[in-house]
Amino acid sequence: MIVRALVIRCAGTNCDEETAWSLEEAGAQPDRVHVNRLVRGEKKLQDYDIVVIPGGFSYGDDIASGKVLANQLLNRLRSPLEEFVKSGRPLLGICNGFQVLVKCGLLPGLDGEDFRIRVTLAENDSGRFECRWSYLKVASRRCPFVKGLPSVFPLPVAHGEGKFVPESSSFLTALEKRGQVVFKYADAHGRLAGYPWNPNGSVGHVAGLCNPAGNVLGLMPHPERHAFPHQHSHWTRLSRQPEHGVGFQIFKNMVRHAMEWKERN
């Protein structure tokens, strides 16, 4: 069964090739497509089983990180995006892609409130670009893309605007109760901790969110940068080399989810 994956790129995107490789290794047939081709109708979202918005600096992060691409998707591709999400097919936003998803309102995407912006990703508390390895703690298993992930695992971050800020503390509590807070920053033992473990000062240590249905996931750390083991700085210290890095599991789960969706439809 062929699973077609769309990797949306634009000026400033710089993680699309690694993301496409991860999808291909997971069994999908990736297609890196400039967003303008979607706007012109040369390519259609509905022809794909997976959509990923990868990391980078879309449109130079003008105005704010991910804001220009978010506006483009919201104003030019809103209907096909809404149809894609409501169909149950998987959509992933990584780093800049996560910024895009929250700034066009696809996340947290509460029922009946699609495209309403209620959270954002702001400038890091450190006031600088943070490029480091971080640890993520799985806070919820609501999203099917986390299946098989360890409870705590390392992924790298590389961003200047990754601080998660909800509209209120009560709204964050509601997201947590619904299981939409998928990942939290933690130390190597899974304990919630401040900087540098929380690299940006995210409120509630939030590192990743999903929508209520679980088929839309956004996270600041980069799973495609730990898709094979020697991407990790400690890989030579391992007594046994795994076939893939821990981040690969997310792509593998997405492809499996897309296959199951195709079988049902």
Catalytic residue (choose from 10, 15, 95, 143):
95
Using CA of residue 56, residue 101, residue 81, residue 145, what is the dihedral sign?
Answer: positive
CA–CA gap between residue 100 and residue 202 (Å, rounded):
17
Q: Is 113 a residue of the active site?
A: no
Q: What is the pLDDT of residues 32-41, one digit of tens each?
A: 999 999 999 9
- Residue 205: which CATH number? 3.40.50.880
Query: Which of the 8 DSSP states describes residue 235?
Result: G
Type of residue found at 24: E
Q: Per-residue pLDDT tens for 180-233?
A: 999 999 999 999 999 999 999 999 999 999 999 999 999 999 999 999 887 887
What's residue 239's pLDDT? 67
User: Is 18 one of the annotated active-site residues of the chain?
Assistant: no
pLDDT at 113 over 90: no
Which candidate, 166, 155, 173, places its Cα nearest to that of 225? 155
Residue 29 is predicted with a pLDDT of 98
User: ∠ CA(20), CA(60), CA(15), 5° rounding?
Assistant: 15
* Cα 37 off chain centre by: 22
Q: In whole numbers, what is the pLDDT of the chain averaged over residues?
A: 94
What is the count of structural domains for the chain? 1
Residue 242 pLDDT class (50, 70, 90 cuts) = confident
Task: Check whether 241 has a pLDDT greater than 90.
Answer: no
How many percent of the chain have pLDDT more than 90? 88
pLDDT at position 110 is: 77
Examine the residue annotation and report whether 95 is marked as an active-site residue of this protein: yes
For residue 54, say if its preceding peptide bond is cis, omega within 30 degrees of 0. Answer: no
Prediction pTM value:
0.95
Residues 138-156: pLDDT tens digits? Answer: 999 999 999 999 999 999 9
pLDDT classification of 111: cutoffs 50, 70, 90: low
Alpha-carbon distance values, 33 to 61, 72, 246 (Å): 19, 15, 26
pLDDT tier, 258 (very low <50, low <70, confident <90, very high otherwise): very high
What is the number of residues in the chain? 265
C-alpha to C-alpha distance for 208 and 158, rounded to whole angstroms: 14
Show the domain range for 126: 4-264
How does pLDDT run across 16-25, given as a tens digit for each residue?
999 999 999 9
What number of other Cβ atoms are within 10 A of residue 39's Cβ?
A: 14
The catalytic position among 18, 130, 161, 224 is: 224
Query: Active site residue: 10, 205, 210, 222, which one?
Result: 222
Give the angle subtended at the CA of 131 by the CAs of 163 and 253, to the nearest 5°.
75
Residue 261, SS3 per DSSP? helix
Q: Is the pLDDT of residue 237 over 80?
A: no
Q: How many CB atoms lie within 10 A of CB 83?
A: 12
In the predicted structure, residue 112 carries a pLDDT above the cut 90: no
